[in-house]
Amino acid sequence: MLLRVLLFVGALSVLGLLGWFWASWPGALLGVLAGAVLTFVIDSLRGVRFIRWTQARDTTTPPLLGGLWGDAAYRVSRALRAEQQQVRESEERLQEFLAAIQASPIGVMLLDPEGRIEWCNDIAAAHFGLDAERDLRQHVGHLVRDPGFTTYYASGEYDSELRLSGRQDAPGHPVKLSVQLHPYGSGRMLMLSRDVTALAQADAMRRDFVANVSHEIRTPLTVLAGFVETLQTLPLTEPERQNYLALMAAQSLRMQTLVDDLLTLSRLEGSPLPSGAEAVDLGALLAQCETEARGLSNLLHPPEAQPQRLHFGPPPDFALAGSAKELRSALSNLVNNAVRYTPGGGGIEVACQRLPDGRVRLLVTDTGPGVAPEHLPRLGERFYRVDRSRSRESGGTGLGLAITKHVVQRHGGELQMSSQLGKGSTFALVFPAQRVRPALTPAVSA
């Protein structure tokens, strides 16, 4: 600043001296006045260029003005560059934040004070069937037409979440959403949505499980209590007493079988997955299941009546890595179910196959009454029965297929089911090719 003052005074002094030599005192005054005017004009031109530069679109490169205007242009340009850098950084942070919200499994929707949609991520759009661009500025109440949500939105009390059906909800494919509003800012609201279909199904299964276990245990307990009371209060002959005791023993066995199946399920869910170190002899496994199946078949359908036709395929030339105990339980459940539900004179076929892609399939086919298509997806659920009366007659607990499904999934495979009413059913345990091992020697048993 001092330098600029000295330059200004120096310019006036030089022009004043030139005027003095030219015309004495009047010339000196005229020279000083001319220097001041010239300095003012130059400074004004610089000011005009400065103003035009500030009005231009590109203000990052200041003009070469010099003087005070040049210093001001440099400082303004530096401040603008710093501000633009902050804006870019803020925009990048905003985009990163929005990208994080987009990647979130939770639906996020921003509502203005009037309830119009300002922004939503793709998950929220999928939850409510919205178009993230087309439906912007639309009122959320016009797009989410669930009566429960309308009441919830109008109540103004958002301390708890709301459960409602998703846009893709269907009888065979239920979709349940959890929605909650969170006020923020000046009347704005944050609307969060979560897909809680799995939680709702788990809660329903838990309720069904408790109800079914209570029912399954209460029935034989009621029978036992009735027989005990009968034995305690009525004079019975020895044959009658033996008959009642036999019935009580049957009910006790039924409860014991149920408890054993429940413990098996609990053990499967809480134990580590089977390793690939143990190789199971499938030939021995099929032989054990065949012995059990023929004994059960002879008990249910004596040879003097109308026996069943049981056919077990040849033993395979390979083994399977896994737990021999679990695999025997899984295959035994399928074979025993086929024996129980196939009427006398029907046929049951058990085979072990190697598929073209290297996988292994243990197949159980029967000519029983079959299962309607709508029941097939639920057959692996605990206690689910197509016909409860038929299950009572066969003595099943409703847990066999659930155990089988758990076992095959623990071995990395799947339970496949197909059936036709009146023609029979086919159940298959399919295991991945990674579990196939060379055949064991005859001396090694599973």
pLDDT tens digits for 327-342?
999 999 999 999 988 9
Looking at the DSSP bridge assignments, the partners of residue 279 are 321
Which tokens is 137 given? Answer: 């500025």
Which of 110, 144, 115, 114 has its CA nearest to residue 127? 144
Sheet holding 318-321, edge to edge: 279-280, 318-321, 436-438
In which residue ranges of the chain is CATH 3.30.450.20 found?
104-195
Name the CATH topology of 104-195.
Answer: Beta-Lactamase (3.30.450)
For residue 331, give both structure tokens: 């295959």
**pLDDT confidence of 446, banded at 50, 70, 90?**
very low
pLDDT, mean of residues 192-198: 89
Query: What letter represents residue 287's amino acid?
Result: A
The confidence score (pLDDT) of residue 77 equals 79
pLDDT digits (tens, 9 = 90+) for 145-171: 888 999 999 998 898 999 988 777 766
Give burial (CB, 10 Å; 0-12/13-18/19+) of 181.
buried
Own/partner pairs, 370-378, CB within 8 angstroms, 24+ separation? 370/419, 370/420, 370/421, 370/422, 370/423, 370/424, 370/425, 371/417, 371/419, 371/421, 371/425, 372/419, 372/421, 373/419, 376/417, 376/418, 376/419, 377/172
- Bridging pattern class, strands 309-312 and 347-354: parallel
CA distances from 410 to 104, 181, 220 (A): 30, 41, 32
pLDDT at residue 1 tops 60 = no
Predicted TM-score of the model (pTM): 0.56
In the predicted structure, residue 402 carries a pLDDT above the cut 80: yes
Calculate the dihedral angle through the C-alpha atoms of 86, 88, 94, 95, rounding to the nearest 10 degrees. Answer: -160
Q: In what order do the strands lie in the sheet with 309-312?
A: 309-312, 347-354, 360-366, 424-431, 414-420
Q: Quote the mean pLDDT of the chain.
A: 83
273-446: what CATH class? alpha beta
pLDDT reported for residue 85: 85
CA distance linking residue 191 with residue 153, whole number of Å: 10
Please check whether residue 196 is in contact with residue 178, taking contact to mean a CB–CB distance below 8 angstroms. yes
Tracing tokens 């071995």 back to the chain, one arrives at: 411
- The residues pairing with 429 across neighbouring beta strands, listed in sequence order, are 362, 415
Q: Name, of 248-252, 253-257, 372-376, 411-415, the range with top average pLDDT.
A: 411-415
State the pLDDT at residue 352. 94
Looking at the chain, the domain(s) classified CATH 3.30.565.10 span 273-446
* Fold of the domain built from segment(s) 202-271: Helix Hairpins (1.10.287)
For 161, other C-beta atoms within 10 Å of its C-beta total 16
Asked whether the CA dihedral 407, 172, 368, 431 is positive or negative, the reply is negative
386 has pLDDT over 80: no
Question: What are the start and end residues of each CATH 1.10.287.130 domain in the chain?
Answer: 202-271
C-beta neighbour count of 410 within 10 angstroms: 18
Ranges 200-214, 237-251, 369-383, most confident: 237-251
